[in-house]
Amino acid sequence: MSNVLTRAAAIASAALLATTGASIGAAQASALPRIPTCHVADLDLAVGEPEGAAGSLNYPILFTNTSTHTCALRGYPGVSVVDARHHQIGTSAIRTGERVTTVSIVPDETVTAVLRTNSRAVAPNCRPTSAYVKVYPPNSFQAVEIPYHLRVCGAFEISPVEAP
């Protein structure tokens, strides 16, 4: 009979330890600071100077943290080009398929995503020139229309947000 009691006591002790350890671990995990996601109000968005590369033009989309706190971006922005009446011209940029990471942005720091299209010499089937580049930061349902004249020819791709 003492074997049964000893075994029951061991099981009860193990269960208590597991429960206590799990709750301590959960409390510790929830106590870790979490960096908030950057919202449109936290950011200044711009299109940087294009760089040419083997028949392509790469336009950096610049995300500058204008808030007073560190925030994070993870993933791909949504990008399209729109005309002066704010109507989308063609389809949105497609994702390049590159690996996604979380990028923390301290105040006044800038991170980028790269928008790529072909040069007119390589892909003469171009869309009309835009009046704006419309950008949704990753994980956002709010867009910013950046005044910018961009002509999309052929490919229209966007990379994930990356630290410099």
The domain limits of the chain are 1-32, 40-158
CA–CA distance, 15 with 137 (Å, rounded to integer)? 46
* Residue of higher predicted confidence among 60 and 16: 60
> pLDDT tens across 144-157, in order?
999 999 999 999 99
Between the alpha carbon of residue 60 and those of residues 8, 53, 148, 158, the distances in Å are 65, 13, 12, 10
pTM (2 d.p.): 0.79
40-158: CATH architecture = Sandwich (2.60)
Amino acid, res. 43: L
First to last CA, the chain: 69
Question: What's the rounded mean pLDDT across residues 80-88?
Answer: 98
What Cα–Cα distance (Å) separates residue 43 from each residue in 1, 29, 33, 63, 136? 70, 29, 21, 6, 11
Check whether 73 has a pLDDT greater than 90.
yes
Q: Say whether 13 sits in a helix, a strand or coil.
A: helix
pLDDT of residue 8: 45
